Amino acid sequence: SYELTQPPSMSVSPRQTARITCSGDVLAKQYGYWYQQKPGQAPVLVIYKDSERPSGTPERFSGSSSGTTVTLTISGVQAEDEADYYCQSADSGGSYWVFGGGTKLTVL
């Protein structure tokens, strides 16, 4: 099985930049994905293929990858960005998927 490690929580002031990291050996060869989940709601895909934004994801969300780490960057954080963020990846065949433990982002 695979493991993805995220910080459990982080806080940021409005208009600042939040960077959430996700580490795991699988990320050296496979894409990382990011999901935003607000209380009582289903997750929403905000980044796929390490750095691509689905239509509807605000431009302040960006993703990057380096070695065994992927990073979600939120530039100019807004109050509405307060949520749980989960990274995800899969094995080379796309047949076994794994989520990180999630990072609770608090906007101060």
Partner 1 sequence: EVQLVESGGGVVQPGESLRLSCVASGFTFDDYAMHWVRQVPGKGLEWVSLISGDGTNTYYSDSVKGRFTISRDNSKNSLFLQMNSLRTEDTAFYYCARPLRYFDWLLHSYFYYGMDVWGQGTTVTVSS
Q: What residues make contact with partner 1 under the rule CB under 8 A?
A: 1, 31, 33, 35, 37, 42-45, 48-49, 52, 54, 84, 86, 88, 94-102
Q: Minimum distance from CB of 40 to partner 1 (Å)?
A: 10
Would you say 17 or 106 has its CB closer to partner 1? 106
SS3 (DSSP) at 25: helix
Q: Minimum distance from CB of 29 to partner 1 (Å)?
A: 15
Give the integer Cα–Cα distance in Å for 81 and 92.
31
Give the integer Cα–Cα distance in Å for 98 and 3.
7
Q: Minimum distance from CB of 24 to partner 1 (Å)?
A: 14
Q: Minimum distance from CB of 80 to partner 1 (Å)?
A: 19
Residues with Cβ within 8 Å of 69's Cβ and at least 6 positions away in sequence, in order, are 21, 22, 23, 27
Residues with Cβ within 8 Å of 31's Cβ and at least 6 positions away in sequence, in order, are 48, 49, 50, 65, 89, 90
Would you say 8 or 67 has its CB closer to partner 1? 8
Would you say 14 or 54 has its CB closer to partner 1? 54
Would you say 16 or 97 has its CB closer to partner 1? 97
Closest by alpha carbon to 70, among 14, 31, 15? 31
